[in-house]
Structure 1
Amino acid sequence: MLQQLSQSQRDFICLWYLVQHSLSSFYKLLDYYGSVPSAIAARHDWAILNLHSSHLKRVQEFEQPLQQAHFEKLLHSIQTHSDFIVTFQDDAYPQQLLNYVDKPPLIFGQGQFNILNEAQIAIVGSRKPSPHGRQVAYDFAYYLSEQGFYINSGLALGIDEAAHLGGLQHGRTLAVMATGLDQTYSRQHQNLRTKIAAQDGTVITEFLPFTPPLQHNFPRRNRIVSGLSLGVLIAEATLKSGSLITAKIAAEQGKSIFAIPGHIYSEHHQGCHQLIREGAILVDHPEQIVEDLALATQWQHQRLHPQNTATPAIKLAPEPKVPAHLQALYTALDWQGQSLDQLCAGLNLDAADLTAKLMELELFGLAMQQSGLYLRCGSAQ
């Protein structure tokens, strides 16, 4: 909760309120008048810039007691629900977003504002994933957050949720919302959102309080998700998945796009297969993402710490300690899953011996069973 708002913050909020989240109008006014306070002072002359009539109407009504009361209520909500506010003119503003013409003028957030500039990987996908897709998203997020990356996603159902939960295991996740901080969408993610903010993560939005989850707000949220990240992973997506919009935005931003393939007859993976055909990088293990983003990670670290160019931003976690008698089985496991019969045939083990060893790996946190298949999961500590 913020104790008070600075005059600069109040000015940014006021202009953002008057233009109703319009990026083009905000920056048009800023370019013309030179500063936010000057633009607000000259608001009765905005008609010369051919702004939308709704903006001009809101300016005319702004001095009315009812509108003033509403604006003060909005400011109170911002103070109540925000732990921090950063504008694009602040040093704490995410450096990754500064070069974009459609960068959010200000960001409201809960949690740790300092992680906005840390190395992030976005994981997005279907809101109605298969159990396998959900598990893969969790596993990739778990592994990548263990390596030091923050997992960035949109707090939506399905893949987003799984990615946040995986990153949360190491206190490394960031959620970008398509509403104001006074509400949570989807509502069933209120507990997840609270955990993210409380466990060294952050929840951010560019939208003012009382902003509902309008359909056109989600693509706007997606540009921030991809913009903050070094790369975007599509964990599972149908051809109609909204995550393909995020991939398109990421491509326009020059980001690396990764996609996890699946069965050729599975509709859950058709979106990923389409992205791969269009040039996305096929990955079947999170370490491949770490390797592909090594240079980008180092570049970001050097921008944040120019005095220390020799230290990488991400320190790889040590390989899991696997007992010698389980090493062959662990090596044979993959991230997709294999049946007991497949493992028996591949390792030339009888079912009883194999089952006992799989149970040991599960106890070490190195393997798990899902839908009758055995696969790797997060590394043991």
Structure 2
Amino acid sequence: MSVQLSRHQYQVITLWYLVQHSLASYHKLVNHFGHIDAVLDPKNLMQWSTLKIHKNHIERAREFQQPDSQAQFQTLIDIICHQCDFVCTTQDPHYPQQLLHYSDCPPILLGQGCADLLNTPQISIVGSRKASKAGMQISYDFSYFLAEAGFTITSGLASGVDQAAHDAALQHHRTIAVIATGIDTTYPKSNTSLKEQILRHKGAIVTEFLPFTPPLQHHFPRRNRIVSGLSLAVLVTQASLNSGSLITAKAAAEQGKLIFATPGHIYDAHYQGCHQLIRDGAILVDHPTQILEDIALPTHWHIEKNASQTELPQSSSDIPIHLSATYHALSWQGQDLDEIFAKTQIPTSTLLSNLMELELEGLCVQQFGLYFKHTLSSV
């Protein structure tokens, strides 16, 4: 387990460290100076205060060149290099393309395990940390079925529903845990074994937080917006009215994602959150095939008689070299030609030719002027 940082990745980590994971300060500085090189130039440090950057960030930047601060930062870099399997900024090709649509997408993701899973079609399953036996069983059954159908199951490595969802999906090597701490920390500690199992079964652990970051309360809503942002849809299997999974559902609604909820007994407080979601417009489901049916049209996913025959998208090595850049610019949500051109800068005539070839290869589908990344299956 080790990773080599590029110069750009090192710079992003540096700025992310100085602004203490503040998206607002990070983007304000980059937008003002135009490039991260200029942001980190000591000569421009005096200008930080004119941008209404938090005083803690300014003070942290001023002290950054001191020996003690440099030693602490180098320790952080060493942990990243030795404990991460991958690091990706928004400029890296393996950064999850589905997150790039959102203004609050994290500037960097650090992870362990299989980075290729980040760009696979995902469904997030979330719910109560104190799930009942029935809630755990529902979460496990839905996760197992959807993973067997070829979806990566994304959740938050919490106790209860998250744990059941990960447990089921790792049987098919298709689960991602988004955590609210640094990669060097497991929270809750009781899920240390689960984390190891996920990595052993070719899953992935991912975070936007740098090492030494503890599980602070305000980090969990940030974690949740990544869970929903990565996914095509969010399923809430059991939740009370004060469950954190409702924050995930709210983020999903703001992102325009499909939200599903399983119902429970009307007098069971553990399901009142699910019932509230259904009243607010979430789709009631009592079987995972209903989820497949609802997402099949927008994602062009093939529902098969034998779901276990469904394959994951082809690996990068299977894509013809001249089509690779075009294919990786595609997303599961669909984009028009201008959006794909903006990502690739490939001349329009060549881009259209590439897209047509990808369609013929079964790797792209066009509908209503939008191009969708597609999965080959044995239908």
TM-score range relative to shorter protein: 0.7 to 0.9
CA distance in 2, matches of 1:272, 1:208: 33
- Asked whether 1:86 is paired with 2:88, we answer yes
Alignment of 1:1-381 (within 5 A): 1-41=1-41, 42-298=44-300, 300=332, 306=355, 307-309=357-359, 310=362, 312-313=374-375, 315=377
Q: Which has the larger radius of gyration?
A: 1
Quote the Cα distance in structure 1 between the aligned partners of 2:30 and 2:70. 23
Q: Which residue does the alignment assign to 2:304?
A: none
- RMSD, aligned α-carbons: 1.7
Question: Match of 1:293, SS?
Answer: helix
The TM-score normalised by the length of structure 1 is 0.80
Q: Residues 78, 237 of structure 1: CA spacing in aligned structure 2 closer, same or farther, 3 A cutoff?
A: same
Runs of 4+ in 1 over 2 A off after TM superposition: 1-4, 42-45, 295-299, 301-317
Relative to the length of structure 2, the TM-score reads 0.81
Matched residue SS, 2:87: strand
1:278–1:247 distance in 2 versus 1, CA, 3 Å: same
Q: Closer, same or farther in 2 for the Cα pair 1:178/1:316, shift >3 Å?
A: farther
How many angstroms apart in 2 are the aligned matches of 1:239 and 1:68?
A: 45
1:229-268 per-residue CA deviation (whole Å, 9 max, x = no partner) reads: 0000001001111101111111011000000001111111
Unaligned runs of 5+ in 1: 318-381
Q: Deviations over 1:140-187 (max 9, x none)?
A: 000000000000000000000000011011010000000000010010
Q: 1:301 to 1:100 in 2, by over 3 A?
A: closer
- CA distance in 1: counterparts of 2:90 and 2:34, whole angstroms: 14
Q: Deviations over 1:191-227 (max 9, x none)?
A: 1111212212110000000000000000000000000
Alignment check: 8 A CA contact 1:147 1:315 kept? no
Which whole-Å CA distance do the structure 2 matches of 1:15 and 1:182 have between them? Answer: 20
CA distance in 1, matches of 2:103, 2:25: 12
Cα distance change on mapping 1:129 and 1:316 into 2, 3 Å: farther
Change in 2 beyond 3 A, CA 1:156/1:112:
same
**In structure 2, distance between residues paired with 1:73 and 1:124:** 34
Instruction: Give 2:31's aligned amino acid.
Output: D
Letter in 1 for 2:169: G
The 3-state SS of whatever aligns with 1:155 is: coil
DSSP 3-state at the match of 1:224: helix
Residue 316 of structure 1: how far off its partner (Å): 8.3
Q: Distance in 1 between matches of 2:39 and 2:127?
A: 40
Gaps of at least 5 residues in structure 2 are 301-330, 341-353, 364-373
